[in-house]
Structure 1
């Protein structure tokens, strides 16, 4: 009489180990890839915060050097986009919106937004625009609106975030 032997054969055990190992490796690859990306949302959020801080700083300035605070009549042929001769080199000395036009710098260095998180590359453009119904059209100065575009490049992700705002002469 032969008794039934219970248990696994050596081949079954080896196959179980191989299948289990493949499953563990797959889970570890997914875990590793996910773990490497956990800081991405923080970097993105910080870059957007930097862009918003820069935009707020620009919008806090006057519409133009030749118009009074709170707006007013634009003197004919007086609005020029760009820095006036009395502006210094750091952004804290800029006294109106268009002084920031053409600015390309890294935050926290050489007077470039010293109060903002350092290390982000910022580019700013300012253009005179006119409103045409529901659209904004680039126009020659003088106009009562300026379009401010702030682009911030994030550290480490090589992504650029863009904010746009209109500044009116009022």
Structure 2
């Protein structure tokens, strides 16, 4: 058993944090947490941009697939035979559901996306599509060139994505 003198000596050597040290630790931890939270909030604020850009690419791909599945020209037969020699942009003044060749999409401007599955329409509300078609003789093995199809997708936040595809005469 310890004598009263030994007990006093034992407690005298135990070191605890002072109030000043405790306040300094709290300040350091709060500064570190505020810096970490600021960086985290910056990163999470930018995550919506990725979603918007992904949707823009999806819409451009949807339109590109639809346009590239159409005939080269109004005078090109179904299946590409007979082929139309040359490159021209014609205006057939057709309704969207009757578009049958690449040229018909020229001049589509600020159109709301058209979906076969209307359940997707809610995901893309506020997005608009513009399409222009032009002849480009600088590409392709065909001496008559190709048709350059430029698709511009405008997102809800005003951000624009420009996508270009080429359709050859085959």
Is the TM value for this pair above 0.5?
Answer: yes
Aligned to 2:134: 127
Q: Which runs of 5+ in 2 are unaligned?
A: 1-7
Aligned to 2:105: 100
Q: 2 CA distance for matches of 1:46 and 1:124?
A: 17
Q: 2 CA distance for matches of 1:132 and 1:42?
A: 33
Structure of higher CA gyration radius: 2
Aligned to 1:58: 67
TM-score when scaled to structure 1?
Answer: 0.74
TM-score when scaled to structure 2?
Answer: 0.74
Q: 1 CA distance for matches of 2:134 and 2:104?
A: 11
Q: Which runs of 5+ in 1 are unaligned?
A: 135-142
Give the number of aligned pairs.
154
* More helix per residue: 2
RMSD: 3.0
SS of aligned partner of 1:37: helix
Q: How far apart are residue 132 of structure 1 and its match? A: 5.9
* More strand per residue: 1
SS of aligned partner of 2:46: coil
2:156 is the alignment partner of 1:159: no
Q: 1 CA distance for matches of 2:138 and 2:19?
A: 80
